[in-house]
Amino acid sequence: MKINEIVVISGKGGTGKTTLAASLIPYLKDLIIADCDVDAPDLNILLDPKIRSTYGFVGLKKAIIDPKKCIKCGLCEKHCKFFAISKDIVLSQSKCEGCGVCEFVCPVNAISMVDAIVGDLYESTTNYGDFVHARLVPGEETSGKLVAEVRKKAKALAILNNKKNIIVDGSPGIACNVISSLTGASQVIIVTEATFSGLHDLKRIHELTKKFNLKTQVVINKFDLSPNHSEMIEKYCSENNIIVGLKIPFTKKIVRSIVKKTIPSIGEKEFFKEIGFLKFIDSLTQS
């Protein structure tokens, strides 16, 4: 069975990725849910998950300097390309990328590389299906690797339980964690908003998704906030053969629903029906 893995991303933050991803969930059957925005995970707020298992996430190893052995020769500081070791030979955990060069150059073996738990990965039960989510310790590296772990776990659950669909809530930006959420996905939804910044960032994220050759749809959130920019986005999409799958008008109803910790498409069923949400759902499950 081919798994339909739908990834929701945006480039620009705060355009409504999580709102959209959450809203899709109740309408998709045979579903596994994955939150890959590991340094700002929010889907759990709307899904009320019951955590079944927690796994420590070991990222790259980190250096530890033994001050008793250290002779302050400064070789490690000189060789560290990540500025993780200060002049007085103190290591900054958050800057260490775990390369091991300091351990290698230290003449007195004062440095060792040790496993560091830099996040947690959770497997949970929700009313809408199994949910894989994670939390990176704030300030940590390797979020791309944690994203890959979340997706791997979600896929394994899908295969094990014979589930057809996986929905992935991605992170903003265009770097490692986004690239990591796109690799091997089935289709992508880019959520943008009708603003100057929204258009600017859409172009950049689309440059990235093009490289993956995925079925792509754009959702324009708050499209009526600036009809002018909404038109510019639609024009860009039609020139680049991207389908605008859904346009959502600005409404306080969505925020009100989130404040009540209710999935917006459940809390505001009528509103979603009116904007053609059901048709959009169909487009995601047709192969």
Partner 1 sequence: MRIAVLSGKGGTGKTTITSNFAVNIKNSISIDSDVEEPNLHIFMDMKDPTSEPVYTLYPTINKDLCTLCGKCGDFCNYNAIIPAKNQVVIFNESCHDCGGCKLVCPTGAITYEKREVGKIFKGTTKYNTELYYGLLNIGEMSGVKIINQLKKYSELNEETVFIDSPPGTSCATVAAVEDVDYAIIVSEPTPFGVSDMKMVVEMLREMEIPFGLIINKAGLGDDEIYDYCKDEDIEILGEVLFDKKIAELYAGGKIFSDSLPQYKNFFSDIYKNIRKKRRSL
Burial (CB < 10 A; 0-12, 13-18, 19+), residue 122, is: buried
Instruction: Kindly report the three-state secondary structure assignment for every residue of 68-102.
Output: CCCCCCCHHHHHCCCCCECCCCCECCCCCCCCCHH
Candidates 49-57, 81-89, 239-247, 274-282 — which segment interacts with partner 1 by CB under 8 A?
81-89
Q: How far apart are the C-alpha atoms of 179 and 190, rounded to whole Å?
A: 14
Whichever of 167 and 284 has its CB closer to partner 1, that residue is 167
**CB proximity list for 27: less than 8 A, separation 6 or greater:** 265, 277, 278, 281
* Min separation Cβ 220 and partner 1, Å: 12
- 35 part of the interface to partner 1, by CB under 8 A: no
What end-to-end distance do the CA atoms of the chain give, in Å? 12
- 58 part of the interface to partner 1, by CB under 8 A: no
Q: Do you know the residue count of the chain?
A: 287
Tell how strand 50-58 and strand 215-221 pair up. Answer: unpaired
Whichever of 14 and 26 has its CB closer to partner 1, that residue is 14
Per CB under 8 A, which of residues 173..232 are in contact with partner 1?
173-177, 179, 193-197, 200-201, 204-205, 207-208, 211, 222, 225-226, 228-229
Residues that bind partner 1 (rule: CB under 8 A) add up to a total of 66
Footprint of partner 1 on this chain (CB under 8 A)? 10-15, 18, 37, 39-42, 45, 60-61, 79, 81-83, 94-95, 97-101, 104-105, 136, 138-141, 143-144, 171-177, 179, 193-197, 200-201, 204-205, 207-208, 211, 222, 225-226, 228-229, 250, 252, 255, 258-259, 261
